[in-house]
Amino acid sequence: MPERNKIAVVGAGHVGESCALLAAQKELGDVVLIDIMEDMPKGKALDILEGSPVEYFDVSVTGSGDSTDLSGADVVIVTAGSARKPGMTRDDLLNVNAKIVSAVAVDIKKNAPDAFVIVVTNPLDVMAWLVRKVTGFKREQVVGMAGALDSARFRAFIALELDVSVKDVHALVLGGHGDSMVPLVRCASVSGVPLTDLMEKEIIDRLVERTRKAGGEIVKLLGDGSAYVSPGASAVMMAEAYLRDQKRVMGASAQLSGEYGLDDIYLGVPVKLSGRGLEEIIEIDLSPEEQKMLADSAEEVRSQIDILR
């Protein structure tokens, strides 16, 4: 029997648990859920495993408090860190989560030097930049989940507004994973029909603003905690694209090296993900207004990176 892939999820909170469940359901490989609280990931892993006869997935799901269990991982999904609380921005988490993610990055470098790393921890673009800096990995090896989730949220809101299937809605969101993100309205469509032909500008503007504030909307409604199912699904979609060499084109936070006129920064852009990891960053022509919004978003991310420097 051929050896199965291994997916390591670091951080066994709600997001990590969602990643482990979805990766197991898709049978992407054996899953290990790792957390500094040793018993908790074991309990969550056992819970997922006990659901396998019901959902008909047949992979190993284990929990661990030992970072050496990263060894042999083909994919590492980083969710470790504090979640947002009501009134907090993603930026408020910067210093707290930088310490946690730096330690995780050291563990990845030591135990899984060949892994494809997907960063979910907020503030996401900065944490992805930090993981690459600490590990020294090639840029093809480290991406952030943001663009995939932000685009999914925009698509969901469009589908709700038009009362159509989300399967027929396509959209793209660029920029940092925060309130300055840039939903590209001209790239949004429903089965090829431009969004601008289907909605008034006032409605589109409202959906754009809701997309930018989508994470905060969920934080406020939950009262304690933040989104976890949609971030988990987005991260697993990226893992699947890598493990199954799907050559998927989607939004992701990627290391820019001159693309879009930006350098040494992680930012949400359209990319191609394949078995090579980050195979390509796709550059599209932006209008002057779009370029300015992207530059403004990049400046927000860069200001946080400067704090870490």
Q: Report how far residue 154's alpha carbon sits from residue 208's, in angstroms, rounded to the nearest whole number.
A: 7
Q: How many angstroms separate the CA atoms of 195 and 219, rounded?
A: 28
Distance from first CA to last CA of the chain, Å, rounded? 47
Instruction: Assess contact for 207 and 161: CB atoms under 8 A.
Output: yes
Taking Cα atoms as reference points, which of 188, 142, 155 lies closest to residue 290?
188
For the question of residue 170 being annotated catalytic, the response is no
Going by the DSSP 8-state scheme, the letter that residue 306 receives in this structure is H
Active-site residue identified among 90, 153, 177, 212: 177
Task: State the CB neighbour count (10 A cutoff) for residue 162.
Answer: 15
CA atoms within 13 A on the CB side of 287: 7
Residue 59 has what DSSP assignment? -
204: tokens are 């589109």
- By C-alpha distance, which of 149, 147, 167, 148 is closest to 158? 167
Q: For tokens 């495993």, what's the residue?
A: 49
Contact 147, 109 (CB under 8 A): no
Residue-wise DSSP of 126-192:
HHHHHHHHHH---GGGEEESHHHHHHHHHHHHHHHHHT--GGGEE--EEB-SSTT-EE-GGG-EETT
Please state, in angstroms and rounded to a whole number, the distance separating the CA atoms of residues 248 and 231: 18
Q: Is the peptide bond before 123 cis (omega within 30 degrees of 0)?
A: yes
C-alpha Rg value of the chain to the nearest Å: 19
- Residues assigned a catalytic role: 177
